[in-house]
Chains A and B, each alone.
Chain A
Amino acid sequence: MAPNPSATLQPHAADHAHVTGLRRRLIELARADHRLPIGTDMVLHEQADPAAVMLDGKALGRVMIEAADRYHTPIALSLMDLRLEKSDLLQRLGVADEQTDTFHFDQAPSDDQMAQAAASDKAPFDPRGRAHLDAIRYVVRQGGERITCGMAIGPFSLATKLMADPITAVALAGMGMSASDEPDVAMVERVLELACGQVHRSLAAQIEAGADAVCVCEPAANVTFLSPNMIAGGSDVFERFVMGPNEVVARQLNDAGVGLIFHDCGELIDDMVRQFAHRLHPVMLSLGSSRVMWHDAELVPDDVVLYGNLPSKRFYSDADLPIDAVESMTRELAVKMKTTGKPFILGTECDVLSVAGSHDMIAAKVDRMLGCSCH
């Protein structure tokens, strides 16, 4: 697939001194063959009442620390709960808490709604959002050598969660239709504007809470939403809806001295990986199992740590992915990444979710991934 000629690689801003320090530390961890899963959800679901923990910042912070300690990593990761920003935004717009998960805009947000979102930007977060921020504060307060990592959905992925049929709307925009041609294009443009504001609010709060890094998750920025044919044909859809908003995210974090960990477990084309790595210049780039990491190493600058990408979404099934296969995949990934010379932290393709009835099987595979030798 030819790269989009309009999306040439532009130099990223210089790192803030704190970000430089974090980048060096992650590279050192990579050089020491560090491994970790995104395992906070696993530990959460071992608690007596996970739902209550998600509303209790101190308890949630303890879960973050327990996950980091269990997996022998200094990186304490927030729970990858990508519903938080949607819930907070919609509650600020007057949608009832219990309806936020299922709510979708069916037309472009009104001027009043846009104004209401802007006016309530400094309002307190909802209880789940407050617990998320308190958990970060709790981990930061414990001190030590931990890297406290917040979590946020990316602006494009949040926009897709706010619409019933985001793919068609984005595709129409990608075909060159304007807001005046198509109501769906008007809707996606306005919803993206709301999403950008919401992600900015979430990141500002996590920065204020003391996060060293924030993992920004853009799983919807993939070929299901963004046709490689359209991009190759010169469409600006990837630039407009993904890169532009995420460059703002990258600047906001870097200006505050907070590292960007960029996560996209979706199916990507090479040029998307290249643009993420060079233009957003994250301290770490986390990719899904559809990517061949040792090939992607060539697409990424030497100072961006690659993270991933064992197929943890399949850990629930021994028939589909036996534990010995996890070990052989781990070995292959470790050995082949070593030959690239690029900094790499071996891990999972996404949050390792606890599946009822399969928790022990999943935990055993995570342990095998962490424990098996490469010799």
Chain B
Amino acid sequence: MKISAIITLKKDVLDPQGKVIHQTLDGMGFKDVSEVRQGKYFEIDVKENDPNKAKGMVEDMCKKLLANLVIENYKIIETQ
């Protein structure tokens, strides 16, 4: 079963890459952008068919490795 996780920087953490992307978008004419924050996306195929168990496994992975909870939040976003 495929589970996806999105890792984003917490609100107060500076994201210089997001800022540069924002500036570049602005320079390209995308003037209606107020902020860009860059994150990470993971697609994890787990050997588990129960969606809740599978999500639980990925949540554990997020807590222990995929995210650093000092600066990042994670969201388990979809099941297939």
Genuine A/B complex: no
- B interface with A by C-beta (< 8 Å): none
